[in-house]
A and B are shown apart, each in its own frame.
Chain A
Amino acid sequence: MSRISECFANLKADGQTALIPYVTAGDPEPWVTVPLLHALVDAGADIIELGVPFSDPMSDGPVIQKACERALKNDVTLQHVLDMVRQFRDKNKTTPIVLMGYDNPIEAMGYAVFAEKAAEAGVDGVLTVDSPPEESSVLRQELDKYEIDSIYLVAPTTSAERMQRIASFAKGFIYYVSIKGVTGTAALDVSEVRGKLAQLRQYTDLPLGVGFGIRDGQSAAAVSEIADAVVIGSTLVRCIEEHEKRPEALPAAVAGLLAEMRHAINARDLASA
């Protein structure tokens, strides 16, 4: 069983919803990332989505675009990101890490080389936002060799037929994009998401995560009612941006924010137990 599947199985046994923070690797400075990841785990992260910076993040809103720009100012490469994961794994062997980003940096490294290095570093899942299942079969085969999960997106515009196809390729969990739009721009509509998740569950037994548009404890708790995992991205990255000039205070501040979300989700999980 992959580390991701194991994580979800344990949470399910405890009646808990997974909390998945997203941060961009190397933002605002490379040395911050590993301490930040540990702080996030301490604050209640179950899985971590680590963003691989890209020069042209077309699916992201201004908050994550700027995070990429800050990281790239320090020339953070995919190799550096893998090094960060390896360093994180020195102290943490259990929290799954999903790399999230765009195809091109992976293609530049080479799919096979990347898969091998990612496995070595301790990566558990890979989500390339601009590479739908149709275009990612080669990468998927390479990741499969090392039992790294290929995570796929489902969107409000995804047809039932496509849901089925995506579900047939997906591993680990399926990431439901809760809004039509880029990251960090609009608030989600819980009842609409509920309907889509119910539809998606007809085609898969995989856990379903929901992201894009979750901004505070309240919306996190609302989503935890209908999803197996809650993904928080731009809200945390905005906090990182605010601490750009004093990065030493950043891990505690971001972790504090995540802890609020954890608290809200736990309260909800308990209430429904």
Chain B
Amino acid sequence: MPELKFTDYFKSYPDKEGHFGPYGGRFVGETLMGAIYELEEAYEQYRNDPQFIAEMDKDLADFVGRPSPVYFAENWTKKLGGAQIYLKREDLNHTGAHKVNNTIGQALLAKRMGKTRIIAETGAGQHGVATATVAARLGLECIVYMGAEDVQRQAQNVYRMKLLGAEVVPVQSGAKTLKDALNEALRDWVTNVDNTFYIIGTVAGPHPYPAMVRDFQAVIGREAKNQMLNATGKLPDALVACIGGGSNAIGLFYPFIEDESVAMYGVEGAGHGIESGQHSAPLCAGTPGVLHGNRTYLMQNKAGQITATHSISAGLDYPGVGPEHAWLKDIGRANYVCVTDDEALEAFHELTRTEGIIPALETSHALAYVKKLAPTMSSDQTILVNVSGRGDKDMHTVAAMAGLSF
């Protein structure tokens, strides 16, 4: 185990082969190796290109509506009794979640690389919608792979993608959820590698995706750092974010990694409870392995087969997690915890009623952990929680829990 010193973190990870310690890397078939080197080269070329940055910043401001506010949840703070709770309002972004920060960046890159066809995988549909949105705007063909089960439970987002001109392909293989959509998108990419750009929605996949998606999402943490300093005169004491693949969490955490006074909590989906085996919490209950282009913590059996996952939230229903989170766990920089479906639902209702903000079910996992954490802290301490998305897409799921249907 390395020493707990994080002052050299930014310049150390990932290394030039895309490794975060033993995690990350480029585990793909030979046919894709050329494409991921081409992408890495393009990303290295444009990430510091003033014109590229200016174009992206303009889109983030005028099209997405950034910066997203930080809001002091006064009612909820009083109710929980303890640390002051601040909400980073990614739910107010255009398309309703943090996902668009990344799709804007990758689509601009695709355009510069001369790719005419965009593919994406999606779980809850938020990344699919955010991809279809930017593709519509840039006039690019867009195909979104989505597990057949997710197509059922996120019907509204499927329709949004179709309205935006995307083709939504229901994936029937395996468990018919997010991991299978990722497999299918990778198969498409192998087949159409010449003209196709694969916009991965989270900090997973082969290098450079985990680092690139993190960099595009890190706008969340950069803004939040300034906003918290302005609002409270100091850095927050704790950050909380939900984790499926981990893009909203790493987006919030990353700019704070070298600020060692800031505690970080990533919240996974415990589903029906870790002991039930029906969950999606690889960092809390999984083991390292290789899937979807990188080495990371996975939900797998002893024979190395990926096991079925469960979460009430389609966006968390994934057996892996971004490799940088795996590394932050091992070096002890971030804490990874989990909450059940029921705890997430309770937090969903509580924020809705106390603050008038309806959060996504994914986000509700982060909120449920805040309910546990805040009362253990003092009233002069602050928690910043990432409200990664809004709950509009989850109305059917939540209503069904109450026995209602539309």
Contacts and interface: CB of A to CB of B under 8 A. Distances in A.
25 contacts: A55-B174, A58-B28, A58-B29, A58-B183, A77-B305, A79-B303, A103-B27, A107-B288, A108-B304, A109-B304, A130-B27, A132-B28, A132-B30, A134-B17, A135-B26, A153-B30, A157-B30, A157-B31, A157-B193, A158-B30, A158-B34, A177-B30, A177-B31, A180-B194, A186-B191
B35 interface: yes
A103 B29 CA distance: 11
B80 to A, nearest CB: 41
Contacts, number: 126
Contacts of A153: 29-31
Contacts of B173: 62, 65, 69
B352 to A, nearest CB: 37
Contact of B30 (A54, A107, A152): A152
B17 A59 contact: no
A40 to B, nearest CB: 25
Interface of B: 17, 25-35, 173-174, 179-180, 183, 186-187, 190-194, 288-293, 295, 298, 300, 302-307
Given A107-B290, A135-B25, A158-B33, 12 more contacts: A58-B28, A58-B187, A69-B174, A105-B303, A107-B288, A131-B27, A134-B25, A155-B34, A157-B31, A180-B192, A180-B194, A182-B187
Contact of A108 (B31, B187, B303): B303
A154 interface: yes
A77 B303 CA distance: 6
Contact of A55 (B27, B34, B302, B305): B305
A181 B191 CA distance: 4
Contacts of B293: 130
A162 B26 CA distance: 15
Contacts of A59: 29, 31, 186-187, 190
A180 B193 contact: yes
Nearest to A129: B29
A56 B33 contact: no
A162 B36 CA distance: 13
A104 B30 contact: no
A204 interface: no
A56 B289 CA distance: 13
A15 interface: no
A105 B35 CA distance: 26
A25 to B, nearest CB: 13
A78 interface: yes
